Amino acid sequence: MGSSTSNDLPPCSGPAPEFLAAFRLAANADGVMSFADFMGLALYHPELGYYRREQIRVGRTPEADFYTATSSGPIFGELIAAAAVQLLGKHRGEIDPADYTFIEIGAEPSGGVLTGVEHGFGATRTVRVGEEAALSGKCVVFSNELFDAQPLRRFVHTGGVWLELGVRLNAEGQLENCRLPGAVNEPWLPSASLATVDDGYVFDAPRAAAKLAGNLAAADWEGLFIAFDYGKSAIALSTECPEGTLRAYHRHRQSNALLDRPGEQDLTGHVCWDWLAEALVDKGFAEPVLESQEAFFMKNAGDYLSQVFAKEGGNFSQRKMALMQLLHPGNLGQKFQVLHARR
C-alpha cells in the first residue's frame, strides 16, 4: 500500500518466533505453503498479521511504513464526496445523495475517508479488516488501496511451463522461497500467444483481489463502485514486469526482502484492472471506467476544485499543498488509478 522511498532495508534478523510457530501450524507436513498462503498469514493472521495488529501503518511520521492519499488530510474525503455525488447525478439525472449510504471498505482503525467531512449522503459506514461488508440497498462502495493488499499467487516460468512459488521452513528454522511441484495451467496465466515469456519471468497474480471484487459485487445492492489503487493491465503484468510487482514496505522504505519481518512489514503488489473489471461486469455492472487519480478528480470533482482554488486564491496553504500531492502527475496524480462503475 501507499508510497515510500526505494532504498533497501537494513538487514533483518528474521521472523519472530511467534510467527514461525504460526507458520508451522499452517504449513503442510513438509513445512511448505504457497506464497499466497504465506502472504495471507503475514498480513491477516488474527493476532500476528500486519493489518490485524495495533500499530501505526499510515502517515508521514518515521514510525509509519507508507503514506496514502488519506495522508493529505480531509481534502481527499471532500473530493471523494464531490466526485461520487457528481457520478450519481450523471448516471441517474436528478438524484438525492441522501438516499445512498457511503460505505468504505478496509479503512484504517483511526478513521474513515469522510470523517469530519461535510457530505450529503444519508449515512456512512466504515468496514474494517475482518468485518462483514453486508452491502444492501443504495450504496456508494469506496476503497482506497484495498485490493493491492490482497494475497498474490506467484509463478515463475521455467522450461516452458509455469511453476507456482511457495515458502518453506528450512532445517535452520528460517523461511526461504521454493517452487511447488507440478506445472500449473490456468487460463489467466501469460500465454506464448501474447508474448515470448523468458525463463525466470515472475508473474504475480492478484487472484484474491479479483475474487474480493466479485464478492462485493455479488451482494444485493445498487449504486457506485469506486476503487483507488495502483495496478496494470493483464498484458502489462504479462510482459513488462519480469521480476513481478510484489514489494515490501517498512518505515517508508521499499524492499524485495519479502520474507523478512512477516507481520511487521507491508506486502503489496499491483492489481490487475482487467480482472477487477471482469468481476464487476459479471455481476451486472456497466462497463467500468479506469482513469488516473488526477483525471478522475478533474472530470468528476472539477466544480469543487474550482471553488477550492478560488477560495485559497494566491495563498500557498496546506490545502493547496495537499491538492498538489493528490493531483500532480509527479506525486500521486498518475501513480494511482481509479476504477469506477455503476449498477
Mean of the pLDDT values across residues 258-271?
93
**C-alpha torsion sign, points 149, 151, 156, 160:** negative
Q: How many helices (H) and strands (E) does the chain have?
A: 9, 16
**Number of C-beta neighbours around residue 102 at 10 A:** 29
Identify the pLDDT of residue 262. Answer: 94
| Whether the Cβ atoms of residue 44 and residue 51 lie closer than 8 Å to each other | yes
Identify the pLDDT of residue 9. Answer: 38
**253 vs 58, which has greater pLDDT?**
253
Of 14-23, 42-51, 115-124, 185-194, the poorest mean pLDDT is in 185-194
* Side chain identity at residue 317, one-letter code: S
Confidence band, pLDDT 50/70/90 cuts, at residue 89: confident
According to DSSP, residue 20 is labeled: H
Q: Is the pTM of this model over 0.85?
A: yes
Mean pLDDT value across the chain:
87
205-241 pLDDT per residue, tens? 999 999 999 999 999 999 999 999 999 999 999 999 9
- Reading the block at residue 186, the C-alpha cell is 490456468
